[in-house]
Chains A and B, each alone.
Chain A
Amino acid sequence: MSKFLIRRIILGLLTLFLVSIVVFAATQALPGNAAQAILGRDATPQRVAALTAQLHLGESVTSQYLHWLGGVVRGHLGTSAATQESVSSLIGGRLANTAFLVLVAAIVALPLSIVLGVWMAVKRDRAADHVLSTGTLVLAALPEFVIGIFLAWLLATNLTHVFPAVSLVAPGQHAWDQPNVVVLPAATLIIAVTPYISRIMRASMVEVLESDYVTMARLKGLSNRVVIWRHAVPNAIVPAIQVSALQLAYMAGGVVVVEYVFSYPGIGAQLVDSVSNRDVPVVQALTIIIAAVYVVVNLLADLTTILVTPRLRTASR
């Protein structure tokens, strides 16, 4: 087990290293002089030169990359080119807001998807299953900005005004100080990911419900509840875990659109701003963070898979 963990962590770091190269290369590929782009057309040559020096733009690409990487490894994400703030303090609060949003969405979406999937499988081919299957398929087909706008239209302007259409958070405060602002973005994310996870859960549950051990559990005279939750679900959950990981990781990136729709003060909105401002150090920091989330979430999913699968758990002993 620990051998597996160490190997996976090393592989994860390697992934991040490769991502850092790709990200760095991508920011280099943006056309024009970054310093000029940041400062605008009216900037004096002196200021452009100063910024060029500050961003090490005059050095070779490799040297720039190593410089940046060295900083990242030591925990210095650099200085925002646009605001001259340190990147960590600039994105720190926003990162917390996004983490809060994703966490809220995950805490609701994961159990909800599992329960929905189990329910659909148990009611297989009956009306409830057909309705839910079709419904989740329709939702899965909708892009999240459509869902977000629809929710804002419905719950923030027409039906009720309880939830703000724009998630304004007072400066110095965090999203959890004003839970109201999280509801709509979180709901959008939940609606975006639940269909996938629940459909996978339904499919694997249908298969497990037909297995010999479930028939055996029924022939042992166990109650339906025990048969489903003790005998079937633990065996059906692995595909759902894997998809959940993909969806969670997707949330970390897909949150960009959702945050933008609701102007939620998270890293997504920040990323959009920074890209348009050519704020290279912030873009690099955020993409690396999102990549790290992908790696960590997938690692966690694999670990959970091993934990719920005795065959895997005991094999690596």
Chain B
Amino acid sequence: MTTTATEATRPASNGAVDVRNLRIELVRDGTDVVDGIMIEVVAGEVLGLVGESGSGKTTVGMALMGYCRPGGQVVGGDVLIDGHDVRKLSADELGRLRGGTVAYIPQDPGTALNPALRIGRQLSEMLEAHKSSISESERDARIREALEEVALPPSDEFLRRYSHQLSGGQQQRVAIAMAFACRPHVIVCDEPTTGLDVTTQARVLQTIRELCQNHKVAALYVSHDLAVVAELADQVAVMYAGRIVERGPRDVIFSQPRHPYTRRLLRAVPDLEGKRPIEGIAGHAPLPGNRPEGCFFEPRCLQAVDRCRTAFPEAVEYEPGHWVSCYRADETPKDGHVLAPGRLEAPADVGEVVLSAEQLDARYLKKQTLFDINLAVARNECLALVGESGSGKTTLARCISGLHRDYTGTVKLGDTTLARSARQRGREARQRIQYIFQNPYASLNPRRTIGQTIARQLALFESGSGHDRRARVEECLERVALSARAADRYPDQLSGGERQRVAIARALAAEPWVLVCDEITSALDVSVQAAIVELLADLRQQTGLSMLFITHNLALIRTIADRVSVMTGGRIVETGPVSEVFEAPKAEYTQQLLANTPTIEAALGRNGSGD
């Protein structure tokens, strides 16, 4: 511990971004969304702002642009960009700041690019707004240069396209080109690679890194993905429930984190090398208005003491530049090194094959999308299906579940060959194969309570009176660690993780043999994802359930699956036990995927400071 002086009194820095004591409230009732935010970024550096959904990280990012989402307002603190407080700017000056001095790279370029305007128009209006003095030909040249910087074709044909005519990676690179077009001093990246495949992500991160270095741009990189932040950031700030709980140089945060939340968060990240198990964090972060008196993490913290319930702890500097808001941060953590290898569960004993696909070819809109697929899932086995978007993994899952009928080949449940469409399949087949969708926000009927949703599933597959059913519903909820009270809630009253638990409970209510899980954790936070993964592992152990686990997240497979099939271009290129495939990948494509997957360990190791 070096100092206890509060940071608010520190002298003005010469950083491109300097945020002090920022507080943003809801206009409605003055509840704080974020408070006491301290951020400093110098030119050419990247600050990774890490947090789970609802932590307020995007709110902070947008505050750098003098923007508050409707319903929120900045009520305290300073946001200095190049030494000027954006809170004191006029509307015109704000217009010049946004896009000109501070540019924004959105999370989902698919929705952030205007569907009604051509790419060229959207790029040129940026320059028209901020570089009105340059001539039309200079503007055109600048646009093409910006496209080249992000490795997009600077052709007329490309500029005439609309965003829906681009791939996800191209869309994101257009958004990056747009952000860098006016040579801003600061870039706010709001999870820009979240929706992208690892290969594309690697390229996009490379682009952002190079542009920031070449143009001396200070970047705030908002993300929930710790591995990406480890790869990219120089400094890291960890947000929880609207507060920065820990911040410091990247290596310190990843190797010697002091805040219990940071430590738990790191343990929730799946490890590509498969050396440590993942641990979820029970519960979820309190929303604005529901935050406790003391430390906000206290209700979920395993190290909490009475003092933690009194007041939110001040940030204290423990190592140079390493600030932590925790009363117990100076104690040596008892849980050892946060990234230390741990004991992994032994692979499960698998039984006979319950689900298989043989020589499956599928077509989608007259185009063949799956080629000669062969796979088999045994009882109590988890087979992971990994591939990038467009690889056909979801189509395969849909063929197997009877949701996509345009295929040839056979799908078998046990020894029975199944009809092509779920409608023609018998009750047994529909019951034994249950599909869980990626997006728990869209897969639950918003007009039914959770109890009704599950009761309906029960009614489909078993007989029983109303009274029994209520008890059965509660039993189903209990299996996924939800309280019985959840039965009376509507989906919008639950968090994303809770909704996905409901979706799992609904699937389990049918007493399936096989769960087809289609990217079921990709919309969730890592701590919640880890908890769901733990839940699935427990369920498997208890019930001998089999799973076809579809994902693009390789590290997750390492944690959950026994075997893996790697898909690309509608073909399975490699299948084998997870450890074999990950340690000695045979297919070139698998090697490439593994190489492009960011990991904390590799990022720290590459810079020679990890362990």
Interface residues of A (CB under 8 A from B): 210-213, 215-223, 226, 230-231, 234-235, 308-311, 314
- Of the candidates A219, A230, A309, which one forms a contact with B104 in the assembled complex, judged by CB atoms under 8 Å apart? A219
Residues of chain B contacted by A314 (CB below 8 angstroms): 162, 164-165
Roughly how many angstroms separate A180 CA and B116 CA in the complex, as a whole number? 41
Q: Is B433 located at the chain interface by the 8 A CB criterion?
A: no
Across the interface, do A230 and B129 meet the contact criterion of CB distance under 8 Å? no
Q: List 5 A-B contacts (CB under 8 A).
A: A212-B111, A226-B125, A230-B117, A308-B116, A311-B162
| SS class, residues of chain A in contact with chain B | helix
Chain B 93-118, CB within 8 Å of chain A: the 1/0 string?
01111111000101010011111111
Roughly how many angstroms separate A215 CA and B109 CA in the complex, as a whole number? 12
Known: A218-B67, A220-B129. A310 touches B104 (CB 8 A): no
Beyond A212-B108, A230-B125, A235-B114, list 15 extra A-B contacts (CB 8 Å): A212-B111, A213-B112, A213-B115, A219-B104, A220-B99, A220-B178, A221-B95, A222-B129, A226-B125, A230-B117, A231-B116, A234-B116, A308-B116, A314-B162, A314-B164
Residues of chain A contacted by B95 (CB below 8 angstroms): 221-223
Residues of chain A contacted by B104 (CB below 8 angstroms): 216, 219-220
Residues of chain B contacted by A230 (CB below 8 angstroms): 117, 125
Across the interface, do B129 and A216 meet the contact criterion of CB distance under 8 Å? no
The count of A-to-B residue pairs whose CB atoms sit within 8 angstroms is 76
Q: How far is the CB of B488 from chain A (nearest CB, A)?
A: 30
Q: Is B376 located at the chain interface by the 8 A CB criterion?
A: no
Q: Is B209 located at the chain interface by the 8 A CB criterion?
A: no
Q: How far is the CB of A279 from chain B (nearest CB, A)?
A: 49
Roughly how many angstroms separate A219 CA and B129 CA in the complex, as a whole number? 12
Roughly how many angstroms separate A65 CA and B165 CA in the complex, as a whole number? 51
Q: Is B455 located at the chain interface by the 8 A CB criterion?
A: no
Across the interface, do A216 and B100 meet the contact criterion of CB distance under 8 Å? no
Roughly how many angstroms separate A309 CA and B126 CA in the complex, as a whole number? 22
Total interface residues on B, using CB and 8 Å?
Answer: 31
Roughly how many angstroms separate A314 CA and B115 CA in the complex, as a whole number? 12
Q: In the complex, what residue of chain A is closest to B178 when comparing beta carbons?
A: A220
The 10 nearest A-B residue pairs measured at CB:
A221-B99, A221-B98, A212-B111, A234-B116, A220-B99, A310-B162, A216-B112, A219-B104, A213-B114, A212-B112
Interface residues of B (CB under 8 A from A): 62, 65, 67, 69-70, 94-100, 104, 106, 108, 111-118, 125-126, 129-130, 162, 164-165, 178
Roughly how many angstroms separate A177 CA and B100 CA in the complex, as a whole number? 56
Across the interface, do A222 and B164 meet the contact criterion of CB distance under 8 Å? no
Residues of chain B contacted by A222 (CB below 8 angstroms): 95, 99, 125, 129
- Of the candidates B106, B118, B162, B164, which one forms a contact with A216 in the assembled complex, judged by CB atoms under 8 Å apart? B106
Across the interface, do A218 and B98 meet the contact criterion of CB distance under 8 Å? yes
Q: In the complex, what residue of chain A is closest to B94 when comparing beta carbons?
A: A221
Residues of chain A contacted by B117 (CB below 8 angstroms): 230-231, 234
Across the interface, do A211 and B111 meet the contact criterion of CB distance under 8 Å? yes
Across the interface, do B62 and A310 meet the contact criterion of CB distance under 8 Å? no
Across the interface, do B164 and A219 meet the contact criterion of CB distance under 8 Å? no
Roughly how many angstroms separate A310 CA and B95 CA in the complex, as a whole number? 28
Roughly how many angstroms separate A217 CA and B116 CA in the complex, as a whole number? 13
Known: A220-B129, A222-B129. A309 touches B116 (CB 8 A): yes
Q: How far is the CB of A206 from chain B (nearest CB, A)?
A: 11
Known: A212-B106, A310-B162. A221 touches B114 (CB 8 A): no
Q: How far is the CB of A218 from chain B (nearest CB, A)?
A: 7
Known: A212-B108, A213-B112, A213-B113. A219 touches B65 (CB 8 A): yes
Roughly how many angstroms separate A210 CA and B70 CA in the complex, as a whole number? 9
Across the interface, do A310 and B112 meet the contact criterion of CB distance under 8 Å? no
Q: How far is the CB of A210 from chain B (nearest CB, A)?
A: 8
Residues of chain A contacted by B130 (CB below 8 angstroms): 221
Residues of chain A contacted by B62 (CB below 8 angstroms): 219
Across the interface, do B113 and A216 meet the contact criterion of CB distance under 8 Å? yes
Roughly how many angstroms separate A213 CA and B117 CA in the complex, as a whole number? 11
Across the interface, do B108 and A221 meet the contact criterion of CB distance under 8 Å? no
Q: How far is the CB of A121 from chain B (nearest CB, A)?
A: 13
Q: How far is the CB of A204 from chain B (nearest CB, A)?
A: 13
- Of the candidates A211, A220, A235, A311, which one forms a contact with B126 in the assembled complex, judged by CB atoms under 8 Å apart? A220
Residues of chain A contacted by B98 (CB below 8 angstroms): 218-221
Residues of chain A contacted by B114 (CB below 8 angstroms): 213, 216-217, 231, 235
Q: How far is the CB of B82 from chain A (nearest CB, A)?
A: 15
Residues of chain B contacted by A221 (CB below 8 angstroms): 94-100, 129-130
Q: How far is the CB of B124 from chain A (nearest CB, A)?
A: 11
Roughly how many angstroms separate A219 CA and B102 CA in the complex, as a whole number? 9
Across the interface, do A311 and B113 meet the contact criterion of CB distance under 8 Å? no
Q: In the complex, what residue of chain B is closest to A236 when comparing beta carbons?
A: B116
Residues of chain B contacted by A218 (CB below 8 angstroms): 67, 98
Q: How far is the CB of A122 from chain B (nearest CB, A)?
A: 12
Residues of chain B contacted by A223 (CB below 8 angstroms): 95, 129
Roughly how many angstroms separate A231 CA and B125 CA in the complex, as a whole number? 11
Which of A213, A220, A235, A314 has the most B CB atoms < 10 Å from its CB?
Answer: A220
Q: How far is the CB of A309 from chain B (nearest CB, A)?
A: 7
Roughly how many angstroms separate A22 CA and B73 CA in the complex, as a whole number? 61
Across the interface, do B115 and A310 meet the contact criterion of CB distance under 8 Å? yes
Across the interface, do B67 and A219 meet the contact criterion of CB distance under 8 Å? yes
Residues of chain A contacted by B96 (CB below 8 angstroms): 221
Q: In the complex, what residue of chain B is closest to A211 when comparing beta carbons?
A: B111
Known: A216-B106, A221-B100, A222-B95. A311 touches B115 (CB 8 A): yes
Residues of chain A contacted by B115 (CB below 8 angstroms): 213, 235, 309-311
Q: How far is the CB of A5 from chain B (nearest CB, A)?
A: 21
Roughly how many angstroms separate A216 CA and B62 CA in the complex, as a whole number? 11
Residues of chain B contacted by A212 (CB below 8 angstroms): 106, 108, 111-112
Residues of chain B contacted by A231 (CB below 8 angstroms): 114, 116-117
Across the interface, do A219 and B111 meet the contact criterion of CB distance under 8 Å? no
Q: How far is the CB of A230 from chain B (nearest CB, A)?
A: 7
Residues of chain B contacted by A213 (CB below 8 angstroms): 111-115
Q: How far is the CB of A305 from chain B (nearest CB, A)?
A: 12
Roughly how many angstroms separate A286 CA and B4 CA in the complex, as a whole number? 89
Q: In the complex, what residue of chain A is closest to B67 when comparing beta carbons?
A: A219
Residues of chain A contacted by B113 (CB below 8 angstroms): 213, 216
Q: In the complex, what residue of chain B is closest to A234 when comparing beta carbons?
A: B116
Q: How far is the CB of A190 from chain B (nearest CB, A)?
A: 28
Roughly how many angstroms separate A223 CA and B92 CA in the complex, as a whole number? 9
Roughly how many angstroms separate A222 CA and B178 CA in the complex, as a whole number? 13
Roughly how many angstroms separate A223 CA and B125 CA in the complex, as a whole number? 11
Roughly how many angstroms separate A137 CA and B62 CA in the complex, as a whole number? 37
Across the interface, do A311 and B164 meet the contact criterion of CB distance under 8 Å? yes
Roughly how many angstroms separate A220 CA and B98 CA in the complex, as a whole number? 5
Residues of chain B contacted by A308 (CB below 8 angstroms): 116
Q: How far is the CB of B53 from chain A (nearest CB, A)?
A: 16
Roughly how many angstroms separate A220 CA and B106 CA in the complex, as a whole number? 11
Which of A217, A219, A308 has the most B CB atoms < 10 Å from its CB?
Answer: A219
Q: How far is the CB of B243 from chain A (nearest CB, A)?
A: 24
Residues of chain A contacted by B100 (CB below 8 angstroms): 221
Q: How far is the CB of A149 from chain B (nearest CB, A)?
A: 42
Q: In the complex, what residue of chain A is closest to B126 when comparing beta carbons?
A: A220
Residues of chain B contacted by A216 (CB below 8 angstroms): 104, 106, 112-114
Roughly how many angstroms separate A218 CA and B116 CA in the complex, as a whole number? 16
Residues of chain B contacted by A211 (CB below 8 angstroms): 111
- Of the candidates A219, A309, A310, which one forms a contact with B99 in the assembled complex, judged by CB atoms under 8 Å apart? A219
Roughly how many angstroms separate A139 CA and B94 CA in the complex, as a whole number? 41
Roughly how many angstroms separate A226 CA and B98 CA in the complex, as a whole number? 15
Residues of chain A contacted by B106 (CB below 8 angstroms): 212, 216
Residues of chain A contacted by B97 (CB below 8 angstroms): 221
